[in-house]
Amino acid sequence: MARCREIAACTEVPGEITRLFLTPPMHEVHALLREWMETAGMTVRVDAIGNLRGLWPGLTPRSPCLLIASHLDTVTNAGAFDGILGVVLGVAIVEEFNGQFQPFAIEVIGFSEEEGVRFSKPFLGSLALVGKLDANTLARTDRRGISVAEAIQAYGLDPAQLSTAALSNETFAYLEFHIEQGPVLESEDTSLGVVEALVGQTRMELNFAGQANHAGTTPMHLRHDAMAAAAEWIVAVEDHASSHSGLVATVGKVAAAPGAGNVIAGHVTASLDVRHADDSAREASVIAILNLAETAAARRGVHVTSGKQLEQPAVLLDPHLTAVLGKAAARAGFPARRMTSGAGHDAMILAPIVPSAMLFLRSPGGLSHHPDETVLPQDVEAALATAMEFLAQLRDDRTNPKDGHA
């Protein structure tokens, strides 16, 4: 936690924590982590997308390799633990080895980009690892017109060398620690959560077109009130999600036009965000929710249209590794809740390529992306103890392979 706070001081904006992809303070972060990693005996490099990579070798040069990673960038005015904690925990695990080599190597990676703030596209660091950082992405520009490729060069790296950022062939598993960024663990008085899946997500915009009219001279029965239609729908969205297990649905952005207190709204635009770990459940709910909009609108002679902005399938983490992680937590004395992640994480990018597992740490107040974001010391200890049990199990699996999950 002290290390996270030390890294938090590396910021573009004094007085807050703001550290976007490949901005100058990232050099300071790399220097700090490099020092801790090298002191622990790791070999450190920065790859061509700006990921900091520390390798603790295995017993042989061709030992299989476990990846422990999370991200080093932050949102604007962020907290001190989102991302960073997962990297610092990776270093702490290697330090726990006390110089002892393992039957597998461990590579700890601090991804250069996950939040998507600077180039309005997330996961740049992990996408490079799996070879999915394409030319279009390299050509994206930030607010100042600087492209991703130019940002890489300005940081002192070579975008032509991106292929060297690729995952090593020896990688056999991916493990990510992350704060929950939600209230579930706290509400259940639990330190840790084992993530089974990262939810799929549909984002839409709905337009309710009624008729703007004078609030005084238009009797209720002659109105086509777009705001009343949207409001009925917003309540129906909440009802629907509350009665469907594992579903969350949110209308967070609403704009009424003309937007005057004495004019009936003629037009309302509203956002819709629907998430579920099961894609077909999510898709069925999106259809049901759009039907609810039709019903609320038709009742008032309001016309509703919708457009899809994002459709992202759910990502399942590796069932075996996830089971091992769950048992490890229990053995460490911290039985973990099985849960889905409602937010995106680098594990989403790695999971289709390499067996992946993810451990959540309780977020006090459910708070994240906020200066008050924190984590409890005992939960960090629980995560580290769980990690050591998890590694012990991986060692056993390597030493005494079973057919059960070949």
Task: State the residues that interact with a copy of itself by CB under 8 A.
Answer: 180-184, 187, 199, 201, 203, 205, 213-222, 225, 227-228, 230-235, 238, 241-242, 247-256, 258-265, 271-273, 275, 309, 341-344, 366, 368-369
Indicate the residue among 299 and 395 with the shorter CB distance to a copy of itself.
299
Do β-strands 200-209 and 105-111 pair in parallel, antiparallel, or remain unpaired?
Answer: unpaired
Q: How far is the CB of 187 from a copy of itself (least distance, A)?
A: 6
Read off the amino acid at residue 42. Answer: M
CB closer to a copy of itself, 72 vs 249? 249
Considering beta carbons, is residue 118 or 282 the nearer one to a copy of itself?
282
In angstroms, what is the minimal distance from the CB of 349 to a copy of itself? 17
Nearer to a copy of itself, 169 or 262 (CB): 262
d(CA 30, CA 70): 14
- Exposed/middle/buried for 406, CB within 10 Å: 0-12, 13-18, 19+? exposed
Distant-in-sequence, close-in-space partners of 404: CB < 8 Å, separation ≥ 6: none
Min dist CB 307 to a copy of itself, Å, is 12
CB of 346 to a copy of itself, least distance (A): 15
Contact between 368 and 82 under an 8 Å Cβ cutoff? The reply is yes
- What is the C-alpha separation between 163 and 301, in angstroms, rounded? 57
Q: Kindly state the smallest distance separating residue 171's Cβ from a copy of itself, in Å.
A: 28
Which residue from 137, 67, 63 is spatially nearest to 107, judged by alpha carbons? 67
Closest distance of CB 31 from a copy of itself, Å: 32
Nearer to a copy of itself, 61 or 216 (CB): 216
Residue 293 CA: distances (Å) to CA of 248, 285, 333:
17, 12, 48
Locate tokens 């990232």: which residue?
A: 26
Query: 50 vs 342, which CB is nearer to a copy of itself?
Result: 342
Question: What minimum distance in Å lies between the beta carbon of 52 and a copy of itself?
Answer: 27
**CB-wise, 106 or 351, nearer to a copy of itself?**
351
Least CB distance to a copy of itself at residue 211 (A): 9
Nearer to a copy of itself, 112 or 201 (CB): 201
Minimum CB separation from a copy of itself for residue 255, in Å? 8
Between 95 and 205, name the residue whose CB sits nearer to a copy of itself. 205
Relative orientation angle of helices 279-298 and 226-242, to the nearest 10 degrees: 150
> Is 157:43 a contact under the CB 8 Å cutoff?
no
Alpha-carbon distance of 48 to 289, in angstroms, equals 44
Strand-pair partners of 201? 275, 312
CB of 234 to a copy of itself, least distance (A): 4
| Cβ-Cβ contacts under 8 Å for 323 (sequence gap 6 or more) | none
The nearer residue to a copy of itself, 262 or 399, going by C-beta atoms, is: 262
- Per the DSSP assignment, residues forming a β-bridge with 337 are 193
Radius of gyration, alpha carbons of the chain: 24
Q: DSSP secondary structure string, 309-363? A: EEEE--EEPPHHHHHHHHHHHHHTT-PPEEEEESS--THHHHTTTS-EEEEEE--
C-beta of residue 197 within 8 angstroms of C-beta of residue 315: yes
- Least spacing, CB of residue 209 vs a copy of itself, in Å: 15
* Cα–Cα distance for residue pair 353/167, rounded to 1 Å: 10
Tell me whether residue 102 or residue 211 sits nearer to a copy of itself (CB atom). 211
Token reading at 235? 């309540």
Return d(Cα 66, Cα 345) in angstroms, integer.
18
